[in-house]
Amino acid sequence: MNRRLLTFILIIVVSLGVVGGLSKWVVDDVKLGLDLKGGFEILYEAEPIEAGGKITKESLTETAKSLEARANATGVAEPEVTTEGANRIRVKIAGVTDEAKVRDVLKKPAELTFRSARGCAADAGYCKVELRGSDFTQNGADVRQTNLNEYEITIKMKSASKFAEITREVAKLSTSGTNQLAIYLDDRMLSAPNVSSEINSTDASITGNFARAEAYDLKDTINLGALPLKLTEKYTQSVGATLGKKSLDETVEAGAIATVIILLFMMFFYRLPGIIASISIIVYIWLLLLGFNLIHATLTLPGIAAFILGIGMAVDANIIMAERIREELRSGKSILSSQKSGSKHSFRTIIDSHVTTAIAGLVLFFIGVGSVKGFAVILLLSIILSVLTNVFFSRALLTLLVRSGIVKKKSNFGVKESEVRAL
Amino acid sequence: MHYKAFDNIDEKKFSFVKKARYFFIFSIIITVLGIVTLGVFGLNYGVDFKAGSNVDISFKKDVSSQKAALETYLKDNGFGTPGMTFGAKRVTLRFDDVLTDTKEKALKQGIAEKFDKDASMEVNTVDVEIAKELQGNALKAVLIASIGIAIYVSIRFEWRFAVAAIVKLLHDAFIVISLFSIFRLEVNLPFIVAVLTIIGYSINDTVVIFDRIRENLRFAKLKTTEDIARVVDSSIWQTMSRSINTVMTVLFATVCLLVFGSESIRLFSIAILIGLVFGVYSSVFIASPLWLLLKSKQKPKTNVKSSAAS
């Protein structure tokens, strides 16, 4: 047996072995989108809490982080929180069992405010909001046990001077007996401690006969509650787990049937190049899944569709090469030189068509948002891998096989001797 | 597959160039029809582009006998009378008002208690603004991508190929949009992705034929426009096996998605299917003859008019 044939067989055995052996691992690792796994996605639009306020990149990121913390606090796996554009936050949570609860937690504005009766009418209570969520340090609340074995919640503020100013002003109200700085969570008053003098500090504490569990709950709510921005839901999608699974099964089944038909078609009409194309396509699919995992892409329903169509493009590269070789064979060239010039000529065509499609993909990637961007990622990945497998790998295999000299008949390329013209 | 008839180019063979006029007219008619229907009826926007919520319920057991019960249930519990598509195990509800959190929760519980505890649902609520924005964004992306492709094709080939490729690309995308408008098929966010896929294929397809024309031009002796026309015809014929076989494999994939795939991507598959068929049609009948039309204007030699237009 000659060396080229041996190399050829070795490459095929190794690559199919790797694909077969590791496919379970690769497939298990694919991260499924919520439309295939069940879960929900919410797109929030952020607004400044105070009218006339501005949304900065920092405040948006901070809000996103805080949303992520809230989602995490409910114990869901890997919430995906991303900021989009100037004022949007997208939250994706897959595989949630108690969706209603998670959504509640996310939505709950739970804003902590310090209010006073400054400038209020006599019966208006604490009408003036002195400090709000954005004035407190993120995750700054904690629980402390006092000397009297009571639980109190400590809060950290961002600015000591602001607190000093407020407490100074509030203390002045002692003449009317309304010198309290009331602490509210949304519209619930937690406590209303008296302020007798200016407090120049970033620390404040909330006391109020809390039970231990109660205190810790409150601490969590406050920590999760200090969302710097107000959020409104702009888009929600929620998919039941069973429905997602069904979509996945059906689509994967469709993909599998399509792939089998395509491979049979290739082998039947293109014979030897068709068999090699089939091997390349299998390797290509495997690499595409692997690439998916490596870039941490999430497979969604349109993603699978793009994936299956990507296979179509991969097949095209093989068809272009096989057709070209057949043309050369029909013109009367030998198998060896047909293979050589056929691969050479088709290479340029394939590269040109891939590059033009890649340009479209790149533009979509940089300009697109949401599902358009996701589509572009799959497109670009499949183009790169398609060139690697369906051009280089396919070509190398065919070259090896032809050079090994065991391919003697033009019919192996699906060309009838009667079609061959004399040179 | 090898199509024997495609091989030798002789006079008896079908000439794409000579018949190009009819295909141009056909395409122009469809395009005009599309503009008219789009102008008059617009697109049949799905929930993604309309205010409201879409609820897809997949039941474990057959509920076809309970249609009336479901309607009464919805009415009695303050859900109103949403649009309803009723299948044996799958029901789609379409609410004109946005389903709030609480209502969504109540609906889920209600369906589970009264009809099928294993029912699984998909609920979609989209703010119109977001969908419109995504649509605008995709449109912008397509236009910029077209410019990028035009530049690349101009460098690798020449500007006339670029013009022909872009016209073809927009033609394909527009026909799919038109047909969705004419047949009142629902347009949702995945439709945008489908149109993008079609554009990707469309370019891919054309470049392969253009590449062959370029190659053949190099070896051909070109004296008259008719010589170029012959090159175009033979280039199309030479790449015909590939054009047909490629579109067939992709069609297999799409038809499989359509037949076996999930309900959620059915319209997506239909869009791709239409796009593929028209993509291969315009690659063969529109793009290359269009290039020839442009090219013939470049060399105002004898016979130019007759060969370009006839």
Could you give the CA distance from residue A318 to residue A407 in angstroms, rounded to a whole number?
A: 19
Q: Under an 8 A CB cutoff, do B238 and A239 touch?
A: no
Residue A63: CB atoms within 10 A of its CB come to 24
B169-193 mean pLDDT: 87
Q: Which of A321, A349, A356 to mutate to test the interface with B (most CBs of B within 10 A)?
A: A356
- Decide if B90 touches A, using CB distance below 8 A: no
Given a cut of 70, is residue A325 above it in pLDDT? yes
The DSSP bridge pattern shows strands A31-32 and A298-299 to be parallel
pLDDT tens digits, A371-407: 677 778 888 898 899 988 988 999 999 988 888 888 8
Residue A343: CB atoms within 10 A of its CB come to 21
pLDDT at B210: 93
Cα-atom radius of gyration of chain A, to the nearest Å? 33
- Decide if A43 touches B, using CB distance below 8 A: yes
pLDDT tens digits, B121-174: 778 777 777 777 777 887 888 888 888 888 998 998 889 999 999 999 999 999
pLDDT interval class at B306 (50, 70, 90): very low
Question: Which carries the bigger pLDDT value, residue A207 or residue B269?
Answer: B269
Place of tokens 């990028």: B148
B185-199 mean pLDDT: 82
Whether the predicted model's global pTM rises above the 0.80 cut: no
Question: Which carries the bigger pLDDT value, residue A339 or residue B308?
Answer: A339
Q: Are B285 and B24 in contact (CB under 8 A)?
A: no
pLDDT interval class at B282 (50, 70, 90): very high
Given a cut of 80, is residue B62 above it in pLDDT? no
pLDDT at B305: 44
Q: Are A180 and A117 in contact (CB under 8 A)?
A: yes
- Decide if B268 touches A, using CB distance below 8 A: yes
Q: Under an 8 A CB cutoff, do A356 and B190 touch?
A: no
pLDDT interval class at A305 (50, 70, 90): low
Average pLDDT, chain B: 82
Chain A residues whose CB is inside 8 A of the B50 CB are none
pLDDT interval class at A61 (50, 70, 90): confident
Q: In whole angstroms, how far apart are CA A399 and each of A10, B82, B303? A: 15, 63, 47
Given a cut of 50, is residue A363 above it in pLDDT? yes
Q: Taking Cα atoms as reference points, which of A250, A368, A377, A341 lies closest to residue A301?
A: A250
Q: Which of B189, B216, B264, B280 to mutate to test the interface with A (most CBs of A within 10 A)?
A: B264
Question: Which carries the bigger pLDDT value, residue A279 or residue A166?
Answer: A279
Residue A338: CB atoms within 10 A of its CB come to 23
Highest averaged pLDDT of the listed ranges A17-26, A124-133, A282-291: A282-291
pLDDT at A75: 67
A281-294 mean pLDDT: 90
Q: Taking Cα atoms as reference points, which of A328, A207, A285 lies closest to residue A19?
A: A285
pLDDT at B291: 92
pLDDT at B309: 41
Residue A41: CB atoms within 10 A of its CB come to 21
Place of tokens 């879409």: B54
pLDDT at A189: 75
Q: Nearest-5° angle of CA B157, CA B163, CA B165?
A: 75
DSSP tag of A390? I
pLDDT tens digits, B68-108: 888 888 888 877 777 777 777 778 887 877 777 777 878 88
pLDDT interval class at A280 (50, 70, 90): very high
Please state, for a pLDDT cut of 90, what percent of chain B lies above it: 21
A157-183 mean pLDDT: 79
Could you give the CA distance from residue B130 to residue A371 in angstroms, rounded to a whole number?
A: 12
Positive or negative: CA dihedral A236, A238, A244, A247: negative
pLDDT at A207: 72
- The token pair at A134 is 């954005």
pLDDT at A210: 75
- Decide if B71 touches A, using CB distance below 8 A: no
A223-249 mean pLDDT: 75
Q: In whole angstroms, how far apart are CA A300 and each of A8, A248, A373, A374? A: 37, 9, 13, 9
Q: Under an 8 A CB cutoff, do A319 and B242 touch?
A: yes
Looking at CA atoms only, how far is residue B282 from chain A in angstroms?
16
A1-21 mean pLDDT: 87
Could you give the CA distance from residue A22 to residue A25 in angstroms, rounded to a whole number?
A: 5
Q: Under an 8 A CB cutoff, do A367 and B268 touch?
A: no
pLDDT at A203: 80
